[in-house]
Amino acid sequence: MSDRTQTVNIIGAGLAGCEAALYLSAAGVRVRLFECKPIEKSPAHSSDGFAELVCSNSLKSDLLSTASGLLKSELRYLGCRLISVADSVKVPAGSALAVDREKFSEAVTDLIKQSDNIEIVHETVTDWDEDEYTIIATGPLTLSGLSQSIFEKFGEGLHFYDAAAPIVDGASIDYSKAFTADRYGRGEGDYVNCPMDKSEYEDFIRALVSAECVILKNFEKSDVFEGCMPVEIMAKRGADTLRFGPLRPVGFSDAAGKRPYAVVQLRRENTEGESYNIVGFQTNLKFKEQERVFRMIPALRNAEFLRYGVMHRNTFINAPLTINRHFQTLKYPKTFIAGQLSGVEGYVESIMSGLVSAMCVAALIKDRPLPEFPLTTVVGALTKYLETPNADFQPMNANFGLLPPPDAKIRDKNAKKLFLSEKSLKDLKNADF
């Protein structure tokens, strides 16, 4: 039975929490929004305002030939409040949507404060009542009391740092320089192998050890690398370290029957083989450096990066074990987890999760069916990614590799992306919410 008088608790007035609060408020649902600032702040937050952009002021490209541009278009169509605020405070940044971060935060904070349906509670939350509708949106630096409760309630599935290898577009691999096989012929040929000869390997190692890395924040230094070493640090231990580690060639022979000097393995990210993870390549290199250095692997010389490797402090749940595509936890139907904590990666993706989780909570309260987003949209595909079983779950940003490929082959990369974007927006407009 519906209960229209319910109050929804939202924990965290960041990007996801503010979007969720504004959606629910406009839908006539009362919200209690908990925010620890200014009493307490994470090491990355510095202002007292809501919806603080902690690092870059860019919400990435606005072009429909990019997945991030498409996601923003989908969100505009869905009436997303924070993207609308971003559009109103944008600063010149070419084809990207960059904003004046102070004006952005001020405008969102004002909207929240002006809403009669939103009660603001400044408090560091350490636990929540599973019998009340709650959206937990406390972000990648969730304060410890609450992360402890999440850990206790959902078991092992909470991670405190992200060590992800890059993902490349399957269509951009040069298969004339790769071969499909499993080590010692065991398995069903699931890996694409990128062999290197001695001089290619040595050039690659030289570039890798001298490439520029992201500078870690002080609070990240202590816990980021525990248990998982970046590929560039491994390479610094000795020229052959990678050849005896993730790039070992044993158990393989190339088309001529010869064992390669080193082999980089690519593992499928999705069943269609549209995207591939570079095995063992968790890295802290700057994004441009990842492109430059990893494209020295002959089969990856034209590789298109769908997600870059990252290593940073990041609290996130093991989404496939914890939530469904509606951001609703499997264990407690009234508890939702949104934002970066849910396993999406990025500002715009976090905003999206706030919107979708709020749409779902509102639907439940109003006894309506939960919204189902077409899988041809970034919203639909990314939320589906979160609930799809994945033994090695890592947070994900918007990328075209998540979308089903066009039925007919489109050779031109840009044309293919524009085709996918057009289809997505058309399907979204035809969807029934």
Ligand X SMILES: Cc1cc2nc3c(=O)[nH]c(=O)nc-3n(C[C@H](O)[C@H](O)[C@H](O)COP(=O)(O)OP(=O)(O)OC[C@H]3O[C@@H](n4cnc5c(N)ncnc54)[C@H](O)[C@@H]3O)c2cc1C
Residues in the site for ligand X, rule: CB under 6 A? 11-17, 34-37, 42, 44-45, 54-56, 124-125, 137-143, 146, 217, 339-341, 346-347, 350
Closest C-alpha among 395, 401, 403 to residue 165: 395
Distance CA 196, CA 190 (A): 19
8 Å CB contact between 132 and 349: no
Residue 4: φ, ψ to 5°: -75, -5
Beta partners for 264? 194
Least distance (Å) from ligand X to the CB of residue 348? 7
CB neighbour list of residue 216: distance below 8 Å, 6 or more residues apart = 224, 284, 312
299 versus 398: smaller Cβ distance to ligand X: 398
38 versus 238: smaller Cβ distance to ligand X: 38
Write down the residue that tokens 């919204």 correspond to.
371
Specify the amino acid at residue 272.
E
49 versus 260: smaller Cβ distance to ligand X: 49
Least distance (Å) from ligand X to the CB of residue 102? 15
Write down the residue that tokens 């937050």 correspond to.
45
Burial class, 51, CB count within 10 angstroms (exposed 0-12 / middle 13-18 / buried 19+)? buried
246 versus 339: smaller Cβ distance to ligand X: 339
37 versus 307: smaller Cβ distance to ligand X: 37
Torsion of CA 66, 67, 70, 71, to 10 degrees: -140
160 versus 419: smaller Cβ distance to ligand X: 160
63 versus 137: smaller Cβ distance to ligand X: 137
Written as six digits, the tokens of 196 are: 């290197």
| Rg of the chain on CA atoms, in Å | 22
8 Å CB contact between 10 and 354: no
Least distance (Å) from ligand X to the CB of residue 133? 17
244 versus 287: smaller Cβ distance to ligand X: 287
- Residue 244 DSSP label: G
Distance CA 285, CA 216 (A): 11
Least distance (Å) from ligand X to the CB of residue 63? 16
Helix, strand or coil, per DSSP, at residue 197: coil
Least distance (Å) from ligand X to the CB of residue 15? 4
Least distance (Å) from ligand X to the CB of residue 96? 11
Taking each helix axis from N to C end, the angle separating 67-77 and 347-365, rounded to the nearest 10 degrees, works out to 30
Beta partners for 130? none
Residue 369: φ, ψ to 5°: -65, 150
Least distance (Å) from ligand X to the CB of residue 105? 10
Written as six digits, the tokens of 418 are: 């524009």
Distance CA 121, CA 109 (A): 13
CB neighbour list of residue 288: distance below 8 Å, 6 or more residues apart = none
138 versus 275: smaller Cβ distance to ligand X: 138
132 versus 422: smaller Cβ distance to ligand X: 132
Helix, strand or coil, per DSSP, at residue 164: strand
Least distance (Å) from ligand X to the CB of residue 421? 20
Buried b (16+ CB within 10 A) or exposed e, 129-138: eeeebbbbbb
14 versus 320: smaller Cβ distance to ligand X: 14
Least distance (Å) from ligand X to the CB of residue 249? 37
Closest residue to ligand X using C-beta atoms = 14
